[in-house]
Amino acid sequence: MPRVRWWVGCAVILSLFVGFFPAAAQTPAAPIVIGVLDSFTNLAPADSGDFPTWELLSHLHTGLSRYNPLTASYDLALAASHSASTDGLTHTFTIRPEAAFNDGTPITAQTFVDSITRVLTLRGRGAAIIRPYVKAVAVTEAGALVFTLSAPCPYFLGLVALPPYAPLHPASYAPQRLTPTPDTATLITNGLYRLVKRTATELTLVPDPAWRGDLAARLPVTLRYYALPADLREALLAGEIDLARRDVPGGADALNYTAVTEADPLARVYLIFSLKEEPYNDPAARTGVMHLIKREALTEGVISTTTLLPIQISAGLEMPTFPPYDLKAAEDVLKAANYSRYRQVSTELQTASRLYGELYRRNSDILSSALNGGQIVRLGRFETEPAVFLDQLQRGAFRLMLITWRPLVAHPDAYLRPLFAGDVAVAMGYTNPALQAALNTAALSTEPDVVKAAYEDVLRLALADAVVIPLWGQPETARLHTGITVEGAALFPMLHYEMIRRP
């Protein structure tokens, strides 16, 4: 199965790809100004590995598929068709015959092979989004593009929408070296937008006239970089921007702006146990701790959760919920397993606040206090440097750890497999053949009822084993100026500029 780097950091409607006629000339419109806290230091798809960079590059480059914010699904883009083998290991795409870069150069299956091979060869951050999944990529005699995967990946259509899989023009991206800052004047792309201006603090994108879809509803976009949240807040107060991509402290007093918050955050925080040694190789110890989670005490700014999956990707699953705080239930379970104030469940909780931020730190304090509320569980908190934390997670050198997890693609398998049958499971020393079999059934079946039942089995078994406990989600918030709207599910985790509307 693919080895997933869990910390890596996973929009245009299909009709945009139908017709392919040149757009009529339009009167230039004032750009939508978006305030961001992420700098523009790297515009190389081969070296991109975070959501802010993917957001920008996804508007300049179009791949085999694209996210559709109106249906919250992935549609074929440059691919005319897609099929997968019954074992899920071979994915075949045919490329639209009219696919081309904005200078008219055709895009073929070989273009994709060359671009993906370049990413793997150069070993930038983008390679980490391809290498764990793809064993080989080739062109058939009939001109189709074929991926051979290391293991079934039911969200592969979402994966190939990410910029590391995009076709790149060799005149803009040299085959033998990473090009973090290609020349704006000669940058050849194939997306909905083209880049026309780049400074240290601003990027301006305009609808690309070479795009063969409907441009009538789209506006130019200026991304304006602010080094500090306080600077972004001042820009909000001054009304200098149309949309703030991130919320800021004190942002609520910015008049004429509306806050839009992710309802059930895609970024989740989980408590994970190591089963390699005492005390958490004992199910009773894990269950006792599970009952001591006091979610109602969590600080403002996060949303507590009792389910392993966010609601928006659960696809109608009946998700079991983890129990609320119950000191008596915790002590009953632990006493029945011969734990007491003289034989305590005693460990350290490893955290990494410098990696995950202030809200994570505050909630780690609250969690630690609640777990020490009785007489049987004794927990110290060990704050770890980010590099050490990630290394210890990889090696499984922990007993109790607090991790944040947001997959590359919002799909049940992308959440569950790393935790219960992938890298994190290996680190924990956890294996459950029945759970793994249910995951594989869901990954390979094309029958919705079978997939639903399999994922429900996974969630039920995960709750019974109590090795991964959902705690909270940290929502993203955007601020929209009066009259600015964003259509569909086009804000989180990535903003889709073509869905922004101005009155």
10 Å CB burial of residue 228 (0-12, 13-18, 19+) is: exposed
Q: Which amino acid is at 353?
A: S
Per-residue pLDDT reduced to its tens digit, 50-77:
889 999 999 999 999 999 888 888 999 9
| Averaged pLDDT of the chain | 89
Does the structure show a pLDDT above 50 at 302? Answer: yes
- Which segments of 185-342 does DSSP mark as H helices, in order? 229-237, 283-290, 327-336
Q: What CA–CA distances, in Å, run from 207 to 16, 219, 231?
A: 13, 7, 28
Q: What is the pLDDT of residue 16?
A: 32
Share above pLDDT 70 across residues of the chain, in percent, rounded to a whole number: 93
What is the arithmetic mean of pLDDT over 141-168? 96
Q: Which amino acid is at 26?
A: Q
Q: What is the pLDDT of residue 484?
A: 94
Does the structure show a pLDDT above 50 at 8? Answer: no
Do residues 446 and 414 lie in contact, with contact meaning Cβ atoms separated by under 8 Å?
no
**Residue located via tokens 């601020």:** 479
What is the arithmetic mean of pLDDT over 95-106? 95
Lookup: tokens for 175: 């085959």
Residue 379: strand, helix, or coil: strand
What is the arithmetic mean of pLDDT over 397-413? 94
DSSP state of 224: E
Q: What is the pLDDT of residue 7?
A: 35
Per-residue pLDDT reduced to its tens digit, 303-340:
999 999 998 888 789 999 999 999 999 999 999 999 99
Among 158, 220, 219, 215, CA closest to 16: 215
State the greatest distance between any 2 C-alpha atoms of the chain, in Å, as a whole number: 80
Share above pLDDT 90 across residues of the chain, in percent, rounded to a whole number: 72
**Residue located via tokens 């639209």:** 96
Q: What is the pLDDT of residue 312?
A: 82
Per-residue pLDDT reduced to its tens digit, 420-469:
999 999 999 999 999 999 999 999 998 999 999 999 999 999 999 999 99
Per-residue pLDDT reduced to its tens digit, 353-375:
999 988 999 999 999 998 998 89
**Total Cβ atoms within 10 A of residue 307:** 17
What's the sign of the alpha-carbon dihedral 350, 355, 357, 360?
Answer: negative
Does the structure show a pLDDT above 50 at 23? Answer: no
Q: What is the pLDDT of residue 490?
A: 83
Q: Which amino acid is at 14?
A: L
Per-residue pLDDT reduced to its tens digit, 182-208:
888 789 999 999 999 999 899 999 999
